[in-house]
Structure 1
């Protein structure tokens, strides 16, 4: 059964690199074994594989496959081969030659904490490993099918296998030397001409002697039917027979397709997500953990990024990006403050609200209600501007809750930086 992966958020970079949000996508990412299940269902060749959750299961899987096998840790943040496990094992992709080695390596991988330079602020617990047969091959390629946003069309990107390939849509901007991209039309799909051009690039002498055309055609069928933004075959291997097979793959689904793809989005795996981000989402909030020590609560993504920039301008760094949206009720503020204060790094909190559709006096009442029900463990700066901001600021000042009230954007950011200093 397919189980879904992590939901993340892409946000534009701020000018202050120290406080810029993590480079992420708000989308659904599937595990490698899940993607292989989909490929297999669409008659795309993949190695035989068995998903295991215990070392003994791994040992038995190697016995069943009966040959040299590859163990791949199933993680959703970055490439598994970049993982460093708590006992010093490097790499979440390991080759074993017999069941005993499978047992030993799976013991060091399963239910163990792992970190990577692509995973920030936390470690992951590897709970699943895919044991796949190791296939003898001549060469490996990296193939990605995604959207060329400059030309408004799908594109196939191919390069020689590069261990540093990134699993995101920056693949277009980071095309390795020796790589090539092939754009095509949504309506035309995979044409004979496109297959011939890609075959020539891969060094295939005769299209009739290989299966690359079928692979491309079926990949595009998945890409279109499942609302995919990125279908990445990180290891497209040419076997000694001349045929191609997909050794490892990753699939990313457009978040706007949630209603159209309930079978996928309804099977989300939250075990590897940031707990606070999941909690925030449950309350209609958008929360992204960052690197600084100043917590932010704002209404609107644009205001959040501007707040990050203002804090950076005054020498500080944001600990988070939290967008409360237009529903900044008392309950929302309680949840938002609880999430932000739950981060031990936070030394001050800046609530920066612009009242457009939302009235600032209503926001002020929500903040007061939340502050009265909670223990504010760190200084709290509140800046209000917009509809009924004068009334809102007066309500906050009269509440005598020890809040630092500001109407000026720059002054509020500067005050938060000052209060966060040790």
Structure 2
């Protein structure tokens, strides 16, 4: 996400742990975004998606002109990124079919690392190719929500492309309401600030209003055109786009959500969300299973206080069932980073005896816990739950009713546990 938008999309710190808001938003690959823009009469190049070097050669030979070849991954900064294969970026200009074949052979099936990818990069499976454009001017245009003002905002700048983050102070902000959209008054302000001619402003205002239409009709949370360019012939074309959509709108945006592609480290998060669990992957080696976001954050605090690092934020919520808890254990069990698990439950709506039954069932299903597990049960039916766990005589399990001692014990147990591989 460009630095200019970070003040709008907020994250919060919890003593050494960084939490992103647990609201999954669909992101689209570039070629899907271009198709959507075209459907809303927003100008984009005629592009082609390829999955093999041979297809890349055929497409560039057919275009018969310098062509842009782009790696398709869910991350920005591709042009300045580096491929593991040849150290070059993920956006390249090709002049011939042979050149396209040679480059595609080092792009498809290899990892591209950018400042927005996980360490090691993302695997590239597809390339997007279109005829190169002679650029006279680059612009940055985005629609998103300003949470502080509780209304949508248009951001626009005559500095676009890869340099937008270092020029965030040149972004113009125009707040608007969804009922009236981009008004003539806003159009006049934009023209005055950015110096568009009347003819150019006619095209720009059409693009902006179509963006608002797309934003509203498709339940978007971010529409970002970067860059929107003016060509040497005076035409406006969107060369790259990033969209995100509200996951709550999945039920009425089935076509768009059918295009969903997830990053490797989002698979567990997605699977958890389908089971009604709130899961966020962190960078430690202690797995947490907790009910309630507040208790989860407090648990992470105490683990950090005693020198441990959490591998996840996993909130089973107040509506936890045996099935959802088994899914939670399944997610934790396959995370090879985890060297210990802390189960911290305060039973209010959730019954501790049901939690205990799920723990015992999970242990049987997994043929025992391979890492130390510290269990703290307090609240509704906690006595019954602890009795059940005691009778089950589970190996590798420590029961500790005190919150602080439970955190301390899992940290100490983890230090003596062998990491799984």
TM-score (norm 2): 0.88
CA-CA distance at 1:270 after TM superposition: 4.1
Counterpart residue number, 2:70? 72
Match of 1:387 in 2: 380
2:72–2:128 contact (8 Å) kept in structure 1: yes
Q: Pick from 379, 390, 410 the counterpart of residue 416 of structure 1.
A: 410
Whether the 8 Å CA contact 2:49–2:128 is kept in 1: the answer is: yes
1:3 aligns with none
Q: Does 1:63 align with 2:61?
A: yes
Q: Classify the secondary structure of the residue corresponding to 1:287.
A: strand
Aligned-pair CA distance for 1:277? 3.2
Contact 2:134 2:231 in 1 (8 A): yes
- Is 2:211 aligned against 1:211? no
Once the two structures are overlaid, the 10-residue window that deviates more, 107-116 or 28-37, is 107-116
What's the secondary structure of 1:163's corresponding residue? Answer: helix
Is this contact kept in 1: 2:22–2:279, CA < 8 A? no
The reply on whether 1:363 has 2:344 as its aligned counterpart is no
> Which residue does the alignment assign to 2:333?
341
Shift of the alpha carbon at 1:123? 4.3
Mean alpha-carbon deviation: is it higher for 264-273 or for 377-386?
A: 264-273
Once residues 227 and 31 of structure 2 are traced to their aligned partners in structure 1, the CA distance between those partners, rounded to angstroms, is 14
- Following superposition, which runs of at least 4 residues in structure 1 exceed 6 angstroms of deviation? none
Q: How does 1:271-420 map to 2 (within 5 A)?
A: 272=264, 274-374=266-366, 375-402=368-395, 403-420=397-414
Q: Is the 8 A contact 2:322 2:354 kept in 1?
A: no
Aligned residue in 2 for 1:41: 39
For residues 193 and 341 of structure 1, the distance between their equivalents in structure 2, rounded to whole angstroms, comes to 57
Give the equivalent residue in structure 2 for 1:132: 130
Contact 2:71/2:78 (<8 A) preserved: yes
Aligned partners of 2:91, 2:51: CA distance in 1, in Å? Answer: 15
Please identify, of 33-42 and 334-343, the stretch whose mean Cα deviation from structure 2 is larger: 334-343
Structure 1: how far apart are the matches of 2:13 and 2:384? 32
**Unmatched segments (≥5 aa) in structure 2:** 1-8, 417-421
1:181 and 2:173 are equivalent in the alignment: yes
Distance 1:272 1:67, change over 3 A: farther
C-alpha distance 301-237 of structure 1, shift in aligned 2 (>3 A): same
Q: Partners of 1:130 and 1:371 in 2: how far apart?
A: 47
Q: Distance in 1 between matches of 2:222 and 2:139?
A: 16
Contact 2:11 2:20 in 1 (8 A): no
1:157 CA displacement: 0.7
Whole-angstrom distance in 1 between the partners of 2:34 and 2:94: 21
**What's the counterpart of residue 6 of structure 2?**
none
CA contact (8 A) 2:22 2:278 kept: no
State how far apart, in whole Å, the 1-side matches of 2:20 and 2:86 are.
26
Aligned to 1:109: 107
* CA-to-aligned-CA distance 1:360-395 (integer Å, 9 cap, x gap): 122112212222332211000111222222332333
Q: CA RMSD in A?
A: 2.4
1:327 Cα deviation after fit: 4.8
Residues in 1 aligned to 2:186 and 2:375: alpha-carbon distance in whole angstroms: 57
Shift in Å, 1:24: 7.6
| 153 and 284 in structure 1: CA distance in 2 versus 1, 3 angstrom threshold | closer
CA distance in 1, matches of 2:340, 2:63: 56
Q: Distance in 1 between matches of 2:87 and 2:228?
A: 26
Q: Judge which range, 111-120 or 35-44, deviates more.
A: 111-120
> Residue 169 of structure 1 corresponds to which residue in structure 2?
none
Provide, for residues 22-69 of structure 1, a one-character-per-residue CA deviation record: whole Å limited to 9, x for no partner: 578511111111111111111111112111111111111112222211
Cα distance in 2 for partners of 1:371, 1:59 equals 54
CA–CA distance in structure 1, aligned partners of residues 80 and 20 of structure 2: 18
1:24 and 1:109, CA in 2 relative to 1: closer, same or farther beyond 3 A?
A: farther
Task: Look up the match of 2:192.
Answer: 200
Which position in structure 2 is the counterpart of 1:14?
A: 13
Shift of residue 162 of structure 1? 5.0
For the residues of structure 2 that align with 1:20 and 1:11, how far apart are their CA atoms?
11
Structure 1: gaps (5+ residues): 1-9, 167-173
Tell me what 1:147 maps to: 145
